[in-house]
Amino acid sequence: MNYIALAIAPGIAICLYIFYKDVYNREPEKNLLICFILGGLAILPAIGFERSFMGTLNGTVSGAAIFAYAIVAFSEEFSKFLGLRLYAYNRKSFDEPLDGIVYAVMVSMGFATVENIMFVLKFAQVGKGYSIAFQRMFLSVPAHATFAVVMGYFVGKAKFDKKNSFTLTLLGLLGAIFFHGTFDFFLFVKDATFVGQEMADGLLAGGAIASFIVALVLSRKLIRRQRALSLELYKEKNTTTTLPGA
């Protein structure tokens, strides 16, 4: 199977999953595609920021924490957030809270897909392309989606709560950074000197998987909550529309 196809497949699959979850008032496909492209472009400033701070990952636990939360998670989630806030948030089609999740996931999957292609092609050069592709298909790419759901949930609420808009938006960004940073921390900390000697890689990977599962469970709950609200709005709109002819 082609490396590129393997790298692209999980992001596209998640986009389709979220698209079909938005049953009652789907977003224009053009807007979703633009969000996906913006997410792909967002990787450029994120990579530039991360590379300028590579020295922060200095073999210590504190270095791993700083690099995971303040460098990688912050730069990647903030870059994705800009696409969501500056483009999607202002669309007329962003007309219900669930749309925050839909657009956030599209941006995030654009980012994750480009990142995935880069990782898979890099490791393909040393004969590990397929193993990395399958690992990331079931962990890293879905993890990006869960971070996006957290962000999109609060940004969606912020759109329709002008009084608390700033606070809700900030909660969404910080929530995504927290879950992303926690996931990455368990992957980076294995490079800390004493940790690498005393703890197995499997235990550290288990921490990353555990943080992903927590984010996944929360994401499913948030999606269900916003879908229920979407259904209520859909019923209310249809009832209002049919009343004059009653």
Cβ pair 188, 64 in contact under 8 A: yes
Read off φ and ψ for residue 182, nearest 5 degrees. Answer: -65, -45
For 197, the token pair is 């000697």
Give the model confidence (pLDDT) of 186-229 as tens digits. Answer: 888 876 666 655 564 665 677 778 888 888 888 888 888 888 87
CA dihedral 196, 65, 38, 214 (to 10 degrees): 80
pLDDT of residue 54: 80
User: Positive or negative, the Cα torsion across 188, 181, 131, 210?
Assistant: positive
Residue 79: closest CA among 106, 44, 109, 113: 44
**How many structural domains does the chain have?**
1
Full domain range(s) for residue 65: 3-245
Confidence (pTM) = 0.88
Give the model confidence (pLDDT) of 30-65 as tens digits. Answer: 999 999 999 999 999 999 999 998 876 677 888 889
pLDDT band at 244 (very low <50, low <70, confident <90, very high): very low
pLDDT of residue 245: 44
Mean pLDDT score across all residues of the chain:
88
